[in-house]
Amino acid sequence: MNFKIIRFQEHGDPRGQLVALEENKEIPFKIKRVYFMYDTLKDVVRGHHAHKSLEQILFCVHGSCRIHLDDGTETAEILLDKPYEGLYIANNLWREMYDFSEDAVLLVLASELYDESDYIRDYDEFLKFIGKKK
Ligand code: T46
């Protein structure tokens, strides 16, 4: 399945930690958009969609949450709870974000501008799109 957890370098010193991210260096694409979510209510599940071409890296820069990924054959559950770890998600992966801690801030770097036509919000349609269902 086309995802990976990337551990980014921390520039720690006696003052604390700093993580720096540059497009086409630490981040393997040009960053066209940044968004973040917070104050997510307990038991909320976000996502429930795939993207036709968007690539993203998700960071839980505060608190924790879990990500469910599905490529139509396999699934994976990933815990994000370290601000220096990013989850790279390629296109054509169904994703759901859940189990947000009360203090969770989920930050996302995206390879494209917001485009509703890039979303597949129906699971059967997703399976058809990736050729796993007739
Ligand atoms: C994804 C996961 C990880 C915008 O206007 N611009 C934006 O860039 C985004 C991301 C959203 N919106 C609007 C569209 C909706 O009215 O914000 C509202 C909530 O978006 P959505 O329901 O798509 O949020 P999530 O948390 O289900 O999904 C988001 C991203 O949309 C998606 O690309 O992969 O986070």
pLDDT, tens only, 97-111 = 999 999 999 999 999
Does residue 108 have its Cβ closer than 6 Å to ligand 1? yes
Q: Which two tokens stand for residue 114?
A: 């917001």
Residue 118: pLDDT band by 50, 70, 90 thresholds?
very high
Active site residue 49: yes
The pTM of the full predicted model, rounded to 2 decimals, is 0.95
Nearest CA to ligand 1 atom 11: 114
What's the rounded mean pLDDT across residues 125-132? 93
pLDDT digits (tens, 9 = 90+) for 60-88: 999 999 999 999 999 999 999 999 999 99
Element spanning 127, H or E? helix 123-129
Q: Which CATH number applies to 3-8+20-133? A: 2.60.120.10
Residues 68, 75 contacting (CB under 8 angstroms)? yes
Per-domain boundaries in the chain: 3-8+20-133
Are the CB atoms for 44 and 62 separated by under 8 Å? no
Of the CA atoms within 13 Å of residue 78, those in its CB half-sphere come to 25
Q: Is 1 in the pocket of ligand 1 (CB under 6 A)?
A: no
